[in-house]
Amino acid sequence: MKEALPFRRFVTSFHSLQLPHRFTDCLVIGSGAAGLRAALEAARSCRVTLLAKGTLEKSNTALAQGGIAASLSSSDSLEKHLEDTLQAGAGLAEEEVGRFIIEMGPGAIHDLEEMGASFDRHGEEIALTREGGHTEARVVHAHGDSTGRELSSVLGRAVKRCDGIRILEETFVVDLIDSQGRCSGAIVLSGRTGQLEIIWSKVTVLATGGAGRIWRETTNPAVATGDGLAIAFRAGAVLRDLEFVQFHPTTLYLAGAARALISEAVRGEGAYLRDKSGDRFMTAVHPDAELAPRDVVSRTIVERMLDTGDTRVFLDLSHLDPDRVRRRFPGITAHLAAFDIDITSDPIPVRPSAHYMVGGVSVDLDGRTSIPGLFACGEVASAGFHGANRLGSNSLLEALVLGRRAGVAAALEAKGQADDFRVREIESKVENDREVSIDLEDVENSLRSLMWMSAGVRRDGKGLEAARESLALWTPYVMGSDLRSRRGFELQNRLTAALLITEMALRRDESRGVHYRTDYPARDDARWARHQLVHRTPDGAPSFA
């Protein structure tokens, strides 16, 4: 970016307000699998406050249909799982990180069963299915296609039973607070009182999830507005690889219907992809056909839509045993039936949608960020496991393993901090907000359409440059406005995340993993076999490396 845009910290506007205060040892921000697992682990040795932007049950985790990847069968091995993960990561997945997380997979499944999780079984053995990019069936699932709901339920019950965890629902984090070079908590907005307050903490764990709501087409819930990326950036944390955004190939596409995910496990069980003429087009593209890596399937679908002039393709399960299909996918069957679609016989209209943020806040295997006192885990973080493309169902595996690790490390660090609960002064550099009337809905819709067209499945330099210009035009007057509401803060976070994603996509002039440039269709290992980093400088400008 040629000029410093006002990536201001909202915290600087609140110095004169008399805000109520809370104190905790460990503040966990986010109620998905990673946040819940971190909170449970940290609560073993310190006081934890857990914040949920919505209710405890509203997260991407709860919507996950596929499952948890873990090497459990006799025909599988940790080495095979690692090889598949590195292959999907397109040269940027880190072998040491992958090996550690994958080795912890079977133990993570065992821990969940000890907590009461009920996974689908074939006799005495846990049932496993295969997804795209996997060479073996290794995806553990629950209640057919409701793995995420089971996971959220089990972890949520455990959190509610834990005396050491205080849960604050409907609580939105506005900004992180730094004190003497450490993250010392956050300023939050209570959805129940409408009031701002400060939560001081010895350590903070960021587990806010993804940013799918930056794009027009997405599988993500309304809470996924990139808040964690934006607040970490404003605090000065290093972020990396934000250009890598995974688009799920198969999302229900019906006029007026929410973009519901049609799990990759549907293709894992044998569903075909066909165009409007009935042609099964993936067989000519990849030896694994419908089970090719997600980036390949998504790009092929978009290309086929362009070739046929249609807005969707179709999933076909009519050749599969109908009773087995209904048993395996009860949730999807019921959802489609509401639209008069019989999953066993009718073609299901689908197209790709923004699904998972592969890049994120740069962390080590303990979840430590570049800011003392700040940890991150789950989708908001980047530990190097996924590289340039996430292998299906590796995300829940990572959330469980590194969520636990972050909780352990955060609690240990909190124990080493003095019980100093004095209210500290918050430094301010911003004095006045400008009075500008903003139509939030119009900006939101314009942003999501812009990102879908310019930073979606297919990208090129011209489109990315145009998107950057539009975002640079919108950002100053939106961020310079007095938008002290959750929706206003979310919009500013979306703009921050969108600007960073667009700039990093423009800088990476090659194609790799989920980042596909039509003007640079080849992978360029000589120049780009590396991570891209960004952080906020003291004057508010992003610095890229």
Secondary structure (3-state) at 205: strand
Q: What is the pTM for the complete model shown?
A: 0.92
Residue 178: the pLDDT is 85
- Per-residue confidence of the chain (545 residues) as pLDDT tens digits? 444 344 555 554 444 456 788 999 999 999 999 999 999 999 999 999 999 998 887 766 766 667 899 999 999 999 999 999 999 999 999 999 999 999 999 999 999 999 999 999 988 899 998 887 899 999 998 887 778 888 889 999 999 999 999 999 999 999 999 887 899 999 999 988 888 889 999 999 999 999 999 999 998 988 999 999 999 999 999 999 999 999 999 999 987 777 788 988 899 889 999 999 999 999 999 999 998 888 899 999 999 999 999 999 999 999 999 999 999 898 899 999 999 999 999 999 999 999 999 999 999 999 999 999 999 999 999 999 999 999 989 999 999 999 999 999 999 999 998 876 665 555 544 444 555 677 888 999 999 999 999 999 999 999 999 999 999 888 877 776 656 788 888 999 999 999 999 999 999 999 999 999 999 999 999 999 999 999 998 888 899 99
Q: What is the CA radius of gyration of the chain?
A: 22
**CA gap 137, 140 in Å, rounded:** 9
Q: Which helix (H) or strand (E) holds 16?
A: none
**Among 479, 465, 475, 471, which Cα is nearest to 449's?**
471
Residue 65: the pLDDT is 67
Token code pair at residue 353:
């949608």
Q: Which helix (H) or strand (E) holds 198?
A: strand 196-206
Residue 138: the pLDDT is 94
CB 322 within 8 A of CB 316: no
Domain boundaries, given as residue ranges, for the chain: 25-244+359-415, 248-355, 438-544
122-131 contacts, C-beta under 8 A, 24 or more apart: 126/72, 128/72, 128/73, 129/67, 129/265, 129/268, 129/269, 130/268, 130/291, 131/66, 131/69, 131/264, 131/265, 131/267, 131/268, 131/291, 131/392, 131/393
Q: How many CA atoms lie within 13 A of 364 on its CB side?
A: 9
Greatest pairwise CA separation for the chain in angstroms? 69
Residue 480: the pLDDT is 64
Residue 430: the pLDDT is 42
CATH architecture of 438-544: Up-down Bundle (1.20)
**CA gap 7, 23 in Å, rounded:** 28
Amino acid 282 reads M
Secondary structure (3-state) at 174: strand
Residue 421: the pLDDT is 61
**Among 27, 522, 67, 503, which Cα is nearest to 265's?**
67
Residue-by-residue DSSP string for 351-369: EEEEEEE--EEE--TT-B-
Residues in Cβ contact with 374 at an 8 Å cutoff, skipping those fewer than 6 apart:
176, 183, 203, 204, 206, 232, 235, 237, 368
**CA gap 431, 414 in Å, rounded:** 34
| Residue 512: active-site member | no
Q: How many CA atoms lie within 13 A of 30 on its CB side?
A: 33
The DSSP output letter for 49 is E
Q: CA of 138: how far to CAs of 60, 105, 269, 523, in Å?
A: 21, 11, 13, 29
CB 266 within 8 A of CB 316: no
Residue 6: the pLDDT is 45
CATH of span 25-244+359-415: 3.50.50.60
State the catalytic residue, choosing from 138, 294, 299, 368: 294
> Quick one: fold of 248-355?
Flavocytochrome C3; Chain A, domain 1 (3.90.700)
Residue 96: the pLDDT is 97
Residue 424: the pLDDT is 58
Parallel, antiparallel or unpaired: strands 348-357 and 245-252: antiparallel
**CA gap 410, 414 in Å, rounded:** 6
Q: Could you identify the residue written with the tokens 């699998």?
A: 33
Residue 426: the pLDDT is 54
**Among 332, 395, 393, which Cα is nearest to 358's?**
395
